Structure 1
């Protein structure tokens, strides 16, 4: 049986598809404080309060921004995108639906191809280069660290029989942390649950 959570996109990508700011998506998911000081529930709290598994739709995660700071985001499943698309009407809803359906179609077909370990001999070097370029762009947009991008590139290269030097991926010995990292860890962190 296919795991509902196996294929996801991030709230960063959803915000780009919807042409809204990322914080607006987070506010819809997490809720907000109203002007009168009361709390307006977000989608996740409403789902959890009604004994639905919010993680079937939205999975808490984080990314590193351009300044090297860790920021909250969510991984959103196809169910989560279906959910969000139903909340938007008119042209904005239609465009978001078209974009995320296409994106999940691409992800599912890419996954199927890898799972079937298709004949890599019939794949041109240009197709591999195009794929890795798109992967690099997505990982960069999500704030992936350079060594993680290299790991993914090496994995794809090896899948297609392209051998890279053993020292191609250089994992840093240490990572610079910020004041917010310590606060985040004390509060349970923002990494995937």
Structure 2
């Protein structure tokens, strides 16, 4: 079985399902985040702010939307569009949970993550970074794309773990 688990969709995908412009959905999500913050409710259970790189090599804002975030958006919608959005997100998350979808969903994203990993490895290797630090960087990059790697993906050398444990006490 594939150990990679996709647990979010992008706000671009959610906007498409909603029939909204991405900028309009970003505005709505930022408003939800503000309202959740005022109520002292953790918004990261619903939305995780991140960025993506366009084909023109521009970095733009977006959100990773969790299943709870999709439910939140769905509850704000009514009529045919609300029904369609709800059906799409339910189907997508069930497919992800059942492991029926490749991870990530979009082949362009897959190649972007792979290329980003290769560039990170090349740069960090030239700088003399140890392998486990490169793995940590790659794991963080994957998480920005909503890709969850196994918990034991990064293994620090034993001497490093001992040194770190001294500072944790």
Same fold (TM over 0.5): yes
Paired residue total? 119
- Residue 90 of structure 1: CA displacement? 0.3
Q: Deviations over 1:97-143 (max 9, x none)?
A: 00010000111111xx8xxxxxxxxxxxxxxxxx65xx576152xxx
Match of 1:77 in 2: 66
Q: Provide TM-score, normalisation by structure 2.
A: 0.61
Aligned partners of 2:50 and 2:61 also within 8 Å:
yes
Aligned partners of 1:57 and 1:80 also within 8 Å:
yes
Match of 2:92 in 1: 103
- Name the CA distance, whole Å, in 1 between partners of 2:53 and 2:97: 26
The 1:147/1:48 distance shift into structure 2, 3 A limit, reads closer
Q: Provide TM-score, normalisation by structure 1.
A: 0.54
The 1:79/1:145 distance shift into structure 2, 3 A limit, reads closer
1:171-186 correspondence to structure 2 within 5 Å: 171=119, 173=122
Aligned partners of 1:136 and 1:149 also within 8 Å:
no
- Residue 21 of structure 1: CA displacement? 1.1
The 1:171/1:14 distance shift into structure 2, 3 A limit, reads same
- Among 29, 33, 36, the residue aligned to 1:44: 33
Where do 5+ consecutive residues of structure 1 fail to align?
1-5, 31-41, 114-130, 152-168, 175-190
More helix by share: 2
- Greater RCO between the two (CA within 8 Å, min separation 6)? 2
Match of 2:8 in 1: 8
Superposition RMSD in Å: 2.8
- Name the CA distance, whole Å, in 2 between partners of 1:139 and 1:58: 23
Q: Deviations over 1:45-102 (max 9, x none)?
A: 0001101000000011111111111111001111110010000000000000000100
Runs of 4+ in 1 over 4 A off after TM superposition: none
- Name the CA distance, whole Å, in 2 between partners of 1:13 and 1:88: 16
